[in-house]
Amino acid sequence: MPKIVDPDQRREAVVEALFRVIERDGLEQASLRNVAAEAGLAIGSVRHYFEHHTELVVFAMKALSERLTTRLTSHVDRVRTAADPRGAVVDMLAELLPVDERRTRETAVWLAFLMASRTRPELRPHADELYDGLVVLTTRILEGARRGGRLTPDADLALESRRLCALIDGLSLHAILHPDRLDAAAVLDVLRRHLDTLVAPA
């Protein structure tokens, strides 16, 4: 009998191979041929699902966004009900930071996609969607803190949301470029310290 291939599993395997190639060699080396070799597949098998490089990259950007959204959503109830909301928020935002092997790979890929979108207009809408999602997330976190009386009274929500986004992006970039100088513990310490500056006085 011919082997039955699950299309979703095959696409996922190709995306994971793409992520490994990008993390190791950069997006410019993530050709269909190189990704097929990384996945242990014939290039024809990859072309069956993705006709060209851009189609694969766009699919991977969407897959990364969905993966992050699923993980972030899993923290929502704890953020709302935790006795220590700051700790719950740190755990949630840590999903976006390179604090372990999986999230380091995702962060490297995310940054590669963002940089590529500067000169590849076909990627720009998807990069914008990722950024807009981050703005929405940080805004909702701050709105929840304000409703709970935990946010400094004079905090400008729009400004603080952008500042938190910039912090996440900056920590991500520095940790990827200088992992020996900014390890996971330091990344989380900086995030905690920033959140402490937003807490209303007792």
DSSP 8-state assignment for residue 95? G
- For the chain, 202 residues long, the average pLDDT of each consecutive 10-residue run is 71 92 92 94 91 91 92 93 90 97 94 94 92 95 92 94 97 96 97 93 69
pLDDT of 6: 79
CA distance 166 to 87: 20
CB 87 within 8 A of CB 94: no
Q: What is the CATH number of the domain that holds 46?
A: 1.10.10.60
- Phi, psi (rounded to 5 degrees) for 5: -105, 125
The answer for 149, left when phi > 0, alpha when psi is -120 to 50, beta otherwise, is: left
Which two three-digit tokens encode residue 161? 């949301």
Domain region containing 92: 61-196
Output the pLDDT for position 83: 84
Q: How far from chain centre, in Å, is Cα 196?
A: 23
Separation CA 62–CA 4 (nearest Å):
26
Q: Do 39 and 107 belong to one domain?
A: no
> Phi-psi category of 182—alpha, beta or left, where left has phi over 0 and alpha has psi -120 to 50?
beta
Q: Is the pTM of the predicted complex or chain greater than 0.85? A: yes
The answer to whether residues 3 and 95 belong to one domain is: no
Any idea what the CATH number is for the domain that residue 192 is in? 1.10.357.10
If asked whether residues 36 and 130 sit together in one domain, one would say no
Q: Rounded to the nearest 5 degrees, what angle is found at the Cα of 81, between the Cα atoms of 147 and 85?
A: 70
- 132 and 44 in a single domain? The answer is no
pLDDT at 84: 82
The DSSP secondary structure of 14-59, one letter per residue, reads HHHHHHHHHHHH-GGG--HHHHHHHHT--HHHHHTT-SSHHHHHHH
- Domain assignment present for residue 35? The answer is yes
SS (H, E, C) 103-131: HHHHHHHHHHHHHHHCCCCCCHHHHHHHH
156 and 88 together in one domain: yes
What does the pLDDT read at residue 1? 45
User: What torsion, rounded to 10 degrees, do the Cα atoms 141, 142, 147, 148 define?
Assistant: 80
Strand partners of residue 199: 151
164 and 79 in a common domain: yes
Can you give 139-172 as a three-state secondary structure string? HHHHHHHHHCCCECCCCCHHHHHHHHHHHHHHHH
